[in-house]
Structure 1
Amino acid sequence: MSEELSFEEELLQEFLVIAEEHIQAIEEGLVLLEKEKDNLELVNEIFRAIHSLKGDSGSVGLNKIKRISHKMESVFSLIRSNELAITTSILDLLFKSLKVLKTYYDESTGKIEPIEENQAILDELEKVKSLSGTTPVESELPKKNILLDFEEKDETKISKENEEEAEDLTDDNRYLIFELYSMLFGVKLEKTRELLPNINITPVPFIANYIAGLINFRGRIIPVLDLAHRLSISNNKSYDKSILLVTKNEEDIGLLVDNVLNIENIGEDSINSLDDINLHSDYSMGVFRKNGKLVILLNLDNVLNRDVY
């Protein structure tokens, strides 16, 4: 009778299955990109596969895969932002990087013996940054895609009602408002990714008690933060909540929230300092009043400080 796998071993096995799919998607995407250099959606698909691979590999401690994925992701970030052209030399470098990435994957499966990290390929990918801005891609790629249905509805409504006002809405002053234990909170819209459906959360032993656990979403392993516990609102372990996917340093983290309400355009002059109401918290950047109710605007960088997950 075979021995049961430990949690870490199960996580690794799950990663290997998912990673193989990501690598295949990257390879197929690069082959197509040789023929369709102006295919913006294809560029985004490859970027998403690399981004997922980077995050998932870090979750299971495969740092060589994480580092080369991060460098490849940076190249695609430049392409997506219209700062780098898709040239033959860039494609050659990406194919060479993929070959190294596949070798690291084979190492993680035990198919080959452990190998040294290829620093030369990391350096080559890093040098691409110096080429950015010299030969822009002809077709500008869309800005970061926020996959929130309520945002799309909100923008449609704004554009129809008042186009001039819509032009004033920037990522700097747009906040997503949500409810948690009857309290209202806001986070900068640019930090949000998506509102996830009800997904099973897998508890993880030996970590901080404000970490709800991990989820597997679209083949990606994502940590979930019990926000109420983190903010000392409640110590009750109630995970029957929605998961708001947010990002910090290009890594995705889930936040447990009750309800997402709407998007607010909040100017700096409308935000009150916590000192004005005799409160202080490193987790908040100020407060805003909405229909007579207090909305606490969270400093996500501090809430998601790396020591919490």
Structure 2
Amino acid sequence: MSFSISSFSTLTTTLPSFRFKVSAMVSTTTRVVPAVIVGGGRVGKALQDLGEGQDVLVKRGESIPLDFEGPILVCTRNDDLDSVLQYTPLSRWNDLVFFQNGMLEPWLESKGLKEGNQVLAYFAVSKLGETPTDGKTDTNPEGLTAAYGKWSLAVSERLLAGGLSCKVLEKEAFQKQMLEKLIWICSVMLVGARHGGVSVGIVENEFRSELCSLIAELASAAASEKGLTFEEAIEERLCAYSRAVAHFPTAVKEFKWRNGWFYSLSEKATAQGKQDPCPLHTQWLKELKVV
């Protein structure tokens, strides 16, 4: 399973403390809601291990059971999502919970799933069968994982029961979290690729100026496109996250779902005779012959 499924993010907007405490308390007294888990890789297996033996694991090309009540945790590559829908009864689409990284909004909207369940999974599973490691940084020691949608509380309780953090967010707060995660992936991977695929830690330590310039550029473009405002110090939050996953390698992957969204903003602007909102991003993509 790709890095995209198990990578982390930073948390910019937190819930009121009482809501998080309620989730934590419930998790110690309520059974984990059984789920269908799509994908038997590292994350899918880890989620199954957090259950109580009543989950149903569905592998590639297998149909989602129609009579199973509960969430459907989708732990596949982004490019497999169309296939997942194909094997899922239409009546169960609103029970799908997407764990994928990247910009899923256009795809979700095209499928009538604008309010679809999503999880920003900021825990690492180094290899199949190993216990997940929670993603925490020196700026967000409370933990980073966030969930949104109909099944967000059930997902949160499953993760909390396994000793992992997970906060339930409303739509706007979740969207900001998703965009920060997207900005981090697109910026640190691109800067790292420019320098031969060095580790995330080397990017943050030796090429921090480039990284912060790109973070600021992409954040400005995303904020303008979505009509929102990120909390201050986004560069520091994303650098802190980089330090937390310093050993990760860098490469520009899954272009359609990641850097491709920002490049589409550049293409749209230039087609309208406007200035490129992401000039560094465009220049570096061209240097690497990605576009």
Smaller-chain TM-score range? under 0.3
TM-score (norm 2): 0.26
Where relative contact order (Cα < 8 A, 6+ residues apart) is larger, the structure is: 2
Answer 1 or 2: which has greater strand percent: 1
